[in-house]
């Protein structure tokens, strides 16, 4: 059962009783001055966080409010010290299969099916039969496709939400498609294949739980570049006769896409398609960051953003020029 | 009168008498063992260099063979010590107005008129009336257009030949055009205007002579970024009511297009369009370098280029994959 | 009417009624537990900040206490929770022409007239007639001189107060003057002219308001280097026959004075005078930073300053050596 | 048949006829002044290079003296222009199976069997049964062991000769062994396993031919780090039940052993054993470089080496101190 | 009299009267709402910090509770606002000679005597008579040995506790000892002598007080590298006939042991022994940091440490592999 | 006996017999085609190099023409293959005491006595009695003063000739003197003392021989910064009661004068006087480099220098502006 009531809506429920799913972000057992135990928790969903408190049935509730657990909370919204909180009346853990991750984690605002459709279309224009077969195999793997629908592109820097990887991948594929027209000497097949594969390791780099996006041990110890190469190897092994030379070039596309050693690629691009892929990857991430920064003006109405750390600068938020330019030939 | 015979064709003229224009790259007066004076020169055109020698009429020829001068040479092609050389019979300096720079300097292989046409078309799609007016004024200035047709994009790194700047500019404009579709929130007008203007200062950075491309004093002391801003200012001053805010944004596009301070931009991009312009500029230059490197295999038939200094690496020169992939669904 | 009573003096006014000008740094409307509205504000002048509170006439006062506004406050100084605050009795906005910026912003402790006089004297020793004329024109422009009197040299790093730019400029001019004696081969005219002009763009980089020093949009998007070149161009255009070669060298002095690309100069110094100017600029800033650091011992009486971020180190604060050295030949 | 006569010995064969194997490093067909064809070649073995010349039977010899080919040369050693050369009388290509690489490429001066024996001994001290099994499988693979005997550790920086990889690996294993005693909290198994595996990809990074050591396409495009991980994966797959956790840690040891991203590791060491491995790897290479530099004094008898580029410095070559210290307690 | 009761044990003393030594970390005189003076202090020992409060005899106690002073406190442990504090009943300053630094500062968990013994043993294996004599002199200097027992190796980065320098030195000596076996061409005497001397200047870099470890003025202004060289010079001067050449090499070992200029060595290692010493020094520090990081998991039971600033990364805290590997050959 | 005839004058001595001193830069014994031995040498003095040849008395001359030896050569100047050479008729080694280094090594064009006099004068203005005494002692040490007269400031970067150190030191002292007036809060005594001492270690860093300037072992292994501190220590020890605090500050001035760790200072300036000294040192060196670069135009008459490696750029060589500016007020 999906959520209907989100933290951001609770303001309107003051003094009402509510019941819905939340994930327990933190929980602590404390004692009142009178010596009675009570529970203080932080409950979370994709829209925000709220404090929860339970004075009654503490021993009953405590094992149900474990950190990281999704629980159905019945409670009363009340205001305390100017802040809203939920007074917990009852709580029931929710089994994993009933949880919709997108209720708890921020999600792309794009339509994931459309993104996926566009990716399929572009991969369908490839001419090399082995590449065509490779992507048929990959996109026929339901588990992979499902992970691709969900994976974020990063935990913080850019596209850091469910579906972010797909959004990022689709952008790069579309740019790659048009670049191949501006520069006809590029190997279009290789460029688009690389665009699809470059971050594929991220489906194994992140672990998605209602409580947040975590990096897996393999993600930290091996990195998504190696994970991507290994994943490519596994699928290529399912295509009979997949040429070793082609596999090597695809591996190189993944390995070198960070562009420079100091950005985590163990080899630098030796193919122009690999170099181009690196630029497209970097450019899409930067465009995202500028847009994100522009959503954070340093003061209401300011033409400048906050100091934006991922960019190391403030970003200009230009007002439209329309008015002043209208009358030139008027 | 344009040249008809180029250095690269002289192999076929061995032991023939020829007459055509060359530029004097070097010249020296020497003395034979017998004490007779003679002249040794290096003659050049866009296709290469050849040695020339004059044993007779030395005092007559010497003032006509000044370094940097274009001369009509009558002479005989002969072989000496396994190398071809021209034995000069007579020489006449050629007045500047009769010289076609493209005979002496390497030139783009693209059709300059088509490039210019494409640039005009794309600028014609802009919607802001002041920008439209600005580019009308600029492209109506014959002197500027002529310099734009000739200017290289650099002396060595990329597009280092006549017409190179236009080729580079057109590539970036076309990419900017398609990017504005992938990212509809970008200010297309600003991006394309910046794409056209970013390197415009290069028309004043280089001095083109038959003997080679030189950087002007202003080019070295002020740099093409400042020259570009000053040039923009002069043209914008010819558009009545050109908005100061718009001018400021265009100036920022030029100033920041190197992307980082250490690459010579006095300010970093604060607009997403400026950031994107930087990537497109950089990417087009890199694509050119990869192609150039691939034209220099480290050994005949090698799959690897020479160590390519502008890229700091060797580049892979991949053979086509066709043969081995034909039979998959055969 | 200038201020007579500054925040730093209010300690002595406890329980007194006062009336003077302050700028509103922050303001918020809140509600008491009983549901009555009240205003809490932060008032500021050049000497510090203090809290202000208004319980009565809230609707009357609120529009008068806008953020950034200078207001004449009548109120009573009282102590609450160990801290001083002003209980506002009445408030009147002050029109801009009655405001003395120096009452609200920190100001150089040097005599600005003397600094300016010294600058004039040194520029008067130049020999090149075009330079002499240029500086006559500039120093005859009252608006420019007024901005020069007020401009800071930076918002935080050094000389970050009214008059700071003039103090910095004067120091560099004096050093340049003596260096020209130690190194007679330097072009003294060029060096001193560059010393005066190098930061002149800062008069347009900062916006001075009672509430603080802000960087203008042009400052952020174009930088004071470009602003300085454009300003120089405007004044040079007022000197008939100003030689292009001389203008180019002056432009180079401004453009290159940060010394290296990564410090924001689009070109590196190509003239020894430009190189020297960079050192003098840098040295004066560093000397200021050391003095500032030394005013912040890490503990009372300590021989070491706090960790001083602009210098990336702690600074030694040496006690005088006099006593222990007196007796050597005693 | 192994070589008996090396280039370095030919000085003693002046004016003698000789017959032995050489590899053709270069070859060119030229024409004498009289118009007769002749061949000039450079012949090489592990000890040096010599010029060879053939005036007779040119058409017969030319196809036999292909670049890169090992040939049995019959010829006469003669001196021409102060330099020794071989006048070729006859030449026969040698089939690959008769070629001993060590005749043509420089080789470690250590006993490869002893090195290998020491490596086996140390790996035999591991306690984890899966690691023991893994190394049994690897060292039972004759092809791998043979490549391990031959592989160099680099093409130029250090241990750049046949057997160099084994020498380097053995050094690191021995150091790892003793470090595990000084720091008992280290996971000795993991450290030694990593020491053995860290450069194992180099057996696929280099191609050994009589004409020299080349980097393979896979070496350049994928790098020995990825090749090593893939090789490990293949062998681990042969050990039933090899724990995924253990495999992940071994992969991390290989991936991170360059220590920092900018040195080509896609991830930095996250395990202390990986960090230690990086130091040992780096230290062994540096010790080799110092020894090599010390073999190249800048002048005969000098206490300083040439400027040694891999170290970026000159190295001190200290004479022994024995004599001057003998008499202290004498 | 050594302490018996440490801050970490006071939890068990709630509502008890205690008496023991503490150092005053902070102290402030305040006034109650009723206008009565009281003292609030922070008391410290090697195990932690606790608040102390004194309401009575304030004028009597204040001069006895000076910052940095060690005092015998008689007081009552009580709980206030959930935190433990000491209500001070009486206080007596303790004379320096009665203070054991190790009661107040964190101390190595290794046995300092054993460490020192191992150092002596290893130095005793040197063969050069002048080095033997040098270390006899040094280790016979009681004051030096005492400082060596106490000195930390750093204030924060590694081994930042009493005895840390000795622990660090001993580790490096032991590694040097084994390395000399793996690389017999190393000058073992020089390497071990350098290992002992490299950080010896730290005995003058730090000032140890019960309140904490401070860096001396000489430490900050001259650095432990110079202090070490000067200290070496003083002891070498006590060995008659100490060879200048040997002294120079030892000085070089100290000067270059940071390995690179940017890490504070004024010269880079020019002797392989100096280069090796640098690696051992760096490696021992890093091993310490990994162990320290691993003691700080980011969450209870996490396999990853906190972000560890001295390492610039999170560290993997691997659980043992034992269980899963037991059954391979079972 | 000083030299009268220098290599640069030999052009005028063609076919004459000459006799003068030269240093042997290189020498080789060869054999003519006829099998007769002969000697080929390179002879040098401060003005240049010339080839010398000896066909007769080879066995007599060979031991007299040792590399590095100064010899009185009697010979005949002749031209061979367009180059001048000396045919050696006789040669006599010259004892060291008869050699004037300035005949063989390039020398400052400034008057060393005047430089020294200026240095004495400035040091004489110091007020601290211990510093006055210190410099009295130093300047009374004839050996030190003599080395100071001769020492270069570097082997290549700047002031790389006899007397260069004194020239450099005097420049810095003079600048320090004037800076103390611009910034009266600087400790003038400390700044000038540091200016004199900062490079004093260079008198032990270089070994001056007729054959060239060499860096000593101590120079390479310890560096002039440590050598300077040790030299200061030795002289300060001769001033009774020299305050330790003052000595420490002087040591800091020497140690930190390279300004940053990566430029070879083991500590960064912690005193403003040390920071200023660093700038003056750096600035004087740069001014020298610009002047040197300007002496090397890239082509005759060019306004730009060669690419100047120590500066990493080309330097502008501006023609004077006089002519074009004369007529402004004419």
C175-217 confidence digits (pLDDT tens) = 999 999 999 999 999 999 999 999 999 999 999 999 999 999 9
Residues in chain C closer than 8 A to B264 (CB atoms): 261, 266-267
User: What is the pLDDT at residue D21?
Assistant: 95
For residue B330, what pLDDT band results from cuts at 50, 70 and 90?
Answer: very low
d(CA C317, nearest CA chain F) in Å: 8
Whether residue C83 has pLDDT greater than 90: no
User: What is the pLDDT at residue F330?
Assistant: 45
Q: Which among D230, D262, D267 has CB closest to A223?
A: D267
User: How much is the mean pLDDT over chain D?
Assistant: 93
Nearest-by-CA chain A residue for B190: A321
Pick among B172, B279, B320 to test the A interface (most A CBs inside 10 A): B279
Q: Do E255 and F229 touch (CB under 8 A)?
A: no
Cα separation, E90 vs F122, whole angstroms: 62
Total residues belonging to chain A: 330
Q: Which residues pair with D304 in a beta bridge?
A: D316
B61 CB-near residues (< 8 Å, 6+ apart): B39, B54, B88, B90, B91
Q: Do E217 and C314 touch (CB under 8 A)?
A: no
Whether residue A30 has pLDDT greater than 70: yes
B127, B27 Cβ separation under 8 angstroms = no
- E322: number of Cβ within 10 Å: 9
Q: Do F217 and D303 touch (CB under 8 A)?
A: yes
Pick among E199, E202, E204, E222 to test the F interface (most F CBs inside 10 A): E222
Residue with the bigger pLDDT between D14 and F145: it is: F145
User: A269-283, D93-107, E118-132, F180-194 — which is least confidently predicted?
Assistant: D93-107
Structure confidence by residue, pLDDT tens digits, C121-149: 999 999 999 999 999 999 999 999 999 99
Q: Is F35 exposed, middle or buried (0-12, 13-18, 19+ CB in 10 A)?
A: exposed
Q: Do D271 and E315 touch (CB under 8 A)?
A: yes
Q: Do C266 and B262 touch (CB under 8 A)?
A: no
Exposed e or buried b for every residue in B152-188, given b needs 16+ CB within 10 A? bbbeeebbbbbbbbbbbbbbbbbbbbebbebbeebbb
Q: Which among D225, D261, D270 has CB closest to A262?
A: D261
Residues in chain E closer than 8 A to D318 (CB atoms): 187, 249, 271
Cα separation, B237 vs B230, whole angstroms: 11
User: What is the pLDDT at residue E322?
Assistant: 58
Extended beta strands in chain A, E state: 17-31, 37-45, 48-54, 70-80, 83-93, 206-209, 212-215
Q: Do F287 and C318 touch (CB under 8 A)?
A: no
Residues in chain C closer than 8 A to E30 (CB atoms): none
d(CA B221, nearest CA chain F) in Å: 8
Q: Residues of D near A (CB-CB distance < 8 A)?
A: 217-218, 220-223, 225-226, 229-230, 233, 248-249, 251-252, 255, 261-267, 270
Q: Which residues pair with A215 in a beta bridge?
A: A206
- Any contact of D with F, at least 3 CB pairs below 8 A? yes
Whether residue F323 has pLDDT greater than 80: no
Q: Do E243 and D321 touch (CB under 8 A)?
A: yes
F203, F165 Cβ separation under 8 angstroms = yes
**Mean pLDDT (whole number) for F81-88:** 88
User: C78-92, F114-128, F172-186 — which is least confidently predicted?
Assistant: C78-92
User: What is the pLDDT at residue A266?
Assistant: 96
Structure confidence by residue, pLDDT tens digits, F19-62: 999 999 999 988 887 778 899 999 999 999 999 999 999 999 99
> How far is it between the farthest Cα atoms of chain A?
80
Please state, for a pLDDT cut of 90, what percent of chain A lies above it: 82
Whether residue B148 has pLDDT greater than 70: yes
Whether residue E285 has pLDDT greater than 70: yes
d(CA E183, nearest CA chain D) in Å: 8
Nearest-by-CA chain C residue for A314: C220
User: What is the pLDDT at residue F35?
Assistant: 77
Cα separation, C52 vs C61, whole angstroms: 12
Q: Do D287 and E270 touch (CB under 8 A)?
A: no
C193 CB-near residues (< 8 Å, 6+ apart): C123, C126, C131, C134, C135, C250, C253
Pick among D40, D217, D262 to test the B interface (most B CBs inside 10 A): D217
Helix (H) or strand (E) holding E322, with range, is helix E322-325
User: What is the pLDDT at residue E330?
Assistant: 45
Question: Strand B83-93 vs strand B48-54: parallel, antiparallel, or unpaired?
Answer: parallel
Q: Do B217 and F316 touch (CB under 8 A)?
A: yes
Helix (H) or strand (E) holding D151, with range, is none
Structure confidence by residue, pLDDT tens digits, B220-276: 999 999 999 999 999 999 999 999 999 999 999 999 999 999 999 999 999 999 999
Whether residue C258 has pLDDT greater than 90: yes
ipTM computed for the complex? 0.91
For residue A145, what pLDDT band results from cuts at 50, 70 and 90?
Answer: very high
For residue F80, what pLDDT band results from cuts at 50, 70 and 90?
Answer: confident
> Which chains, if any, share at least 3 CB pairs under 8 A with chain D?
A, B, E, F
Q: Which among A182, A246, A314 has CB closest to B321?
A: A246
Q: How many CA atoms, within 13 angstroms, populate the side-chain half-sphere of residue A121?
A: 9
Pick among D134, D159, D183, D302 to test the E interface (most E CBs inside 10 A): D183
The DSSP annotation for F237-291 comes to TTSTT--HHHHHHHHHHHHTTT-SGGGT-SS---SHHHHHHHHHHHHHHHHHHHH
Cα separation, A207 vs F191, whole angstroms: 61
A41 CB-near residues (< 8 Å, 6+ apart): A24, A25, A26, A27, A28, A51, A52, A53, A54, A65, A88
Please state, for a pLDDT cut of 90, what percent of chain B lies above it: 82
Q: Is the dihedral of CA F155, F161, F163, F169 positive or negative?
A: negative
- D303: number of Cβ within 10 Å: 15
Structure confidence by residue, pLDDT tens digits, C22-46: 999 999 988 887 778 899 999 999 9
Whether residue C306 has pLDDT greater than 90: yes
Q: Do A223 and D255 touch (CB under 8 A)?
A: yes
Backbone angles phi, psi at D20, to 5 degrees: -165, 180
Pick among E304, E311, E313, E321 to test the A interface (most A CBs inside 10 A): E304
Q: Do B272 and A290 touch (CB under 8 A)?
A: yes
User: How much is the mean pLDDT over chain E?
Assistant: 93
User: Angle at Cα F319 formed by Cα F316 and Cα F323, nearest 5°?
Assistant: 150
Whether residue A324 has pLDDT greater than 60: no
Provide Rg for chain C, Cα atoms: 24
d(CA E220, nearest CA chain F) in Å: 8
Query: Between B and D, how many residue pairs show a Cβ–Cβ distance under 8 A?
Result: 6
Nearest-by-CA chain A residue for E302: A217
Instruction: List the one residue out of B43, B114, B105 whose CA is nearest residue B74.
Output: B43
Structure confidence by residue, pLDDT tens digits, B193-232: 999 999 999 999 999 999 999 999 999 999 999 999 999 9
d(CA E192, nearest CA chain A) in Å: 36
> Which chains, if any, share at least 3 CB pairs under 8 A with chain F?
B, C, D, E
Residues in chain B closer than 8 A to F314 (CB atoms): 220
Q: Which among E130, E185, E252 has CB closest to D325?
A: E130
**Mean pLDDT (whole number) for C224-251:** 97
d(CA C97, nearest CA chain B) in Å: 27
Q: Give the SS3 label for residue D41.
A: strand
Distances (CA, A) of A121 to A114, A168, A198, E168: 10, 16, 18, 62
Residues in chain D closer than 8 A to A267 (CB atoms): 220-223, 264
For residue B282, what pLDDT band results from cuts at 50, 70 and 90?
Answer: very high
Please state, for a pLDDT cut of 90, what percent of chain D lies above it: 82
The DSSP annotation for C55-108 comes to -SSHHHHGGGS-TT-EEEEEEEEEEETTEEEEEEEEEEE--GGG--HHHHS-B-
DSSP for residue F11: G
Question: Strand F212-215 vs strand F206-209: parallel, antiparallel, or unpaired?
Answer: antiparallel
Instruction: List the one residue out of E136, E117, E60, E65 whose CA is nearest residue E94.
Output: E65
User: What is the pLDDT at residue B1?
Assistant: 61
d(CA B243, nearest CA chain F) in Å: 37
Pick among A227, A250, A267, A269 to test the D interface (most D CBs inside 10 A): A267
E317 CB-near residues (< 8 Å, 6+ apart): E294, E297, E302, E303, E304, E305
Residues in chain E closer than 8 A to A217 (CB atoms): 303, 316
User: What is the pLDDT at residue C156?
Assistant: 83
Residues in chain D closer than 8 A to A252 (CB atoms): 221-222
Structure confidence by residue, pLDDT tens digits, A177-221: 999 999 999 999 999 999 999 999 999 999 999 999 999 999 999
Distances (CA, A) of D164 to D153, D203, D217, D258, E121: 5, 11, 21, 18, 36
Whether residue E328 has pLDDT greater than 60: no
Q: How many CA atoms, within 13 angstroms, populate the side-chain half-sphere of residue C66?
A: 6
Extended beta strands in A273-315, E state: none
Q: Is the dihedral of CA B64, B65, B71, B76 positive or negative?
A: positive
User: What is the pLDDT at residue E30?
Assistant: 87
User: Angle at Cα F138 formed by Cα F136 and Cα F139, nearest 5°?
Assistant: 65
F173, F188 Cβ separation under 8 angstroms = no
Percent composition of chain B: helix, strand, coil (DSSP 3-state, to 5): 45, 20, 35
Q: Do A217 and E314 touch (CB under 8 A)?
A: no
**Mean pLDDT (whole number) for C44-57:** 93
Cα separation, D84 vs D5, whole angstroms: 15
Helix (H) or strand (E) holding D144, with range, is helix D142-150
Whether residue C328 has pLDDT greater than 70: no
Question: Strand E83-93 vs strand E48-54: parallel, antiparallel, or unpaired?
Answer: parallel
User: What is the pLDDT at residue B325?
Assistant: 47
Q: At what angle do helices B188-197 and B272-294 cross, to 10 degrees?
A: 50
B289, B283 Cβ separation under 8 angstroms = no
Q: Can you tell me which residue has the tokens 């640039």?
A: B119
User: What is the pLDDT at residue F322?
Assistant: 58
Residues in chain E closer than 8 A to D290 (CB atoms): 271-272, 275
Residues in chain B closer than 8 A to C248 (CB atoms): 217-218, 221-222
Q: Which among F286, F291, F318 has CB closest to C249?
A: F318
Structure confidence by residue, pLDDT tens digits, A109-138: 999 999 999 999 999 999 999 999 999 999
Q: Which residues pair with F213 in a beta bridge?
A: F208
Cα separation, F192 vs F172, whole angstroms: 8
Pick among C217, C219, C222, C223 to test the A interface (most A CBs inside 10 A): C217
Whether residue A330 has pLDDT greater than 70: no
- Please give the model's pTM, rounded to 2 decimal places: 0.93
For residue A158, what pLDDT band results from cuts at 50, 70 and 90?
Answer: confident
Instruction: List the one residue out of E158, E168, E196 whose CA is nearest residue E273.
Output: E196
Cα separation, D50 vs D79, whole angstroms: 11
Whether residue C330 has pLDDT greater than 50: no
User: What is the pLDDT at residue A178?
Assistant: 92
Structure confidence by residue, pLDDT tens digits, D214-248: 999 999 999 999 999 999 999 999 999 999 999 99
Whether residue B329 has pLDDT greater than 60: no
- Any contact of D with C, at least 3 CB pairs below 8 A? no
Whether residue A35 has pLDDT greater than 80: no
For residue D33, what pLDDT band results from cuts at 50, 70 and 90?
Answer: confident
Residues in chain E closer than 8 A to A221 (CB atoms): 316
């Amino acid at each position: 059962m999906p959520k209907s009531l989100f933290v951001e809506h609770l303001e309107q429920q003051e003094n009402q009783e509510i019941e819905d799913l939340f994930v327990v972000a933190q929980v602590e057992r404390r004692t009142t001055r009178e010596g009675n135990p009570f529970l203080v928790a932080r409950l979370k969903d994709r829209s925000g966080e709220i404090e929860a408190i339970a004075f009654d049935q503490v021993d009953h509730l405590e094992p149900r409010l474990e950190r990281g657990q999704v629980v159905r909370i019945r409670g009363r919204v009340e205001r305390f010290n100017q802040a809203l909180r939920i007074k917990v009346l009852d709580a029931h853990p929710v089994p994993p299969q009933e949880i919709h991750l997108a209720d708890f984690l921020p999600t792309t605002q794009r339509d994931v099916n459309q993104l996926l459709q566009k990716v399929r279309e572009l991969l369908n224009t490839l001419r090399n039969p082995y590449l065509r077969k490779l992507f048929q195999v990959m996109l026929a793997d339901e588990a992979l496709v499902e992970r691709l629908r969900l994976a974020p592109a990063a935990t913080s820097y850019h596209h850091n939400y469910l579906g972010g990887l797909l959004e990022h991948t689709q952008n790069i594929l579309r740019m790659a498609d048009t670049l191949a027209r501006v520069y006809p000497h590029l190997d279009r097949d290789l460029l688009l294949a690389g665009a699809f594969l470059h971050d594929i390791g991220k489906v194994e780099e992140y672990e998605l739980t209602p409580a947040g996006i975590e990096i897996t041990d393999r993600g930290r110890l091996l990195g998504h570049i190696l994970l991507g190469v290994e994943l490519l190897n596994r699928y290529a092994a399912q295509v009979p006769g997949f040429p070793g030379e082609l596999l090597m070039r695809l591996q190189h596309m993944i390995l070198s896409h960070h562009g420079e050693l100091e950005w985590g690629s163990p080899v630098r691009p030796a193919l122009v398609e690999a170099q181009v892929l690196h630029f497209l990857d970097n450019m899409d991430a930067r465009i995202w960051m500028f847009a994100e920064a522009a959503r954070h003006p340093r003061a209401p109405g300011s033409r400048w953003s906050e100091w934006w750390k991922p960019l190391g600068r403030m970003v200009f938020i230009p007002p439209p020029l329309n008015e002043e330019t209208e009358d030139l030939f008027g």
